[in-house]
């Protein structure tokens, strides 16, 4: 499995290969993002697109973004989506960790469905907190 970093100016050239995965990822933001929002952020912000592929067949992608907290620099994995994730997760994580180190990040963080804890259970994953959402108006 190959992992390729896609330069910002090449996002539009590759987008057709990951759009369906981005649509799936956007569903789990519950109205916060559309696939087009993900694309726009990749083109306009300090975010990175990584794709997992074998030749021309794309298996998935990860969107990352370095961020500074007052006491620590982190690499956020905003979106991870695709098929057969366990085929490319280890290689992707190797590249993401190297990039995080290169950027001076001390941690990699993400948020997502509970099922991701199973995917990263052997990679030093630590459950720190849960993201809650409550409606403004209820009953």
| CATH classification at residue 69 | 3.40.630.30
pTM of the predicted model as reported, rounded to 2 decimal places: 0.87
Q: What is the pLDDT of residue 137?
A: 77
* Whether residue 113 has pLDDT greater than 70: no
Rounded distance, CA 41 to CA 30, Å? 17
What is the number of structural domains in the chain? Answer: 1
Q: What is the residue whose two structure tokens read 């298996």?
A: 59
Kindly list the distances between the CA atom of residue 95 and the CA atoms of 12, 61, 62, in Å, as whole numbers in the listed order. 22, 12, 11
Per-residue pLDDT tens digits for 73-92: 999 999 999 999 999 999 99
Asked if 50 and 5 touch (Cβ cutoff 8 Å), the reply is yes
Residue 71: inside a domain: yes
The parent domain of residue 25 ranges over 2-119
Rounded distance, CA 124 to CA 14, Å? 31
């Amino acid at each position: 499995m190959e992992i390729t970093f896609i330069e910002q100016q090449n996002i539009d050239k590759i987008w057709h290969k990951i759009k369906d995965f981005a649509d799936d990822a956007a569903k789990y933001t519950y109205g916060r993002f559309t696939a087009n929002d993900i694309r726009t952020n990749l083109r306009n912000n300090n975010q990175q697109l990584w794709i997992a592929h074998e030749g021309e067949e794309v298996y998935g992608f990860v969107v990352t973004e370095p961020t500074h907290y007052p006491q620590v620099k982190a690499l956020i994995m905003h979106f991870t989506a695709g098929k057969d994730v366990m085929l490319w997760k280890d290689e992707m994580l190797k590249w993401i960790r190297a990039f995080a180190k290169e950027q001076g990040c001390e941690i990699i963080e993400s948020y997502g469905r509970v099922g991701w804890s199973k995917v990263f259970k052997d990679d030093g994953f630590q459950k720190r907190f849960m993201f809650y959402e409550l409606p403004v108006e209820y009953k």
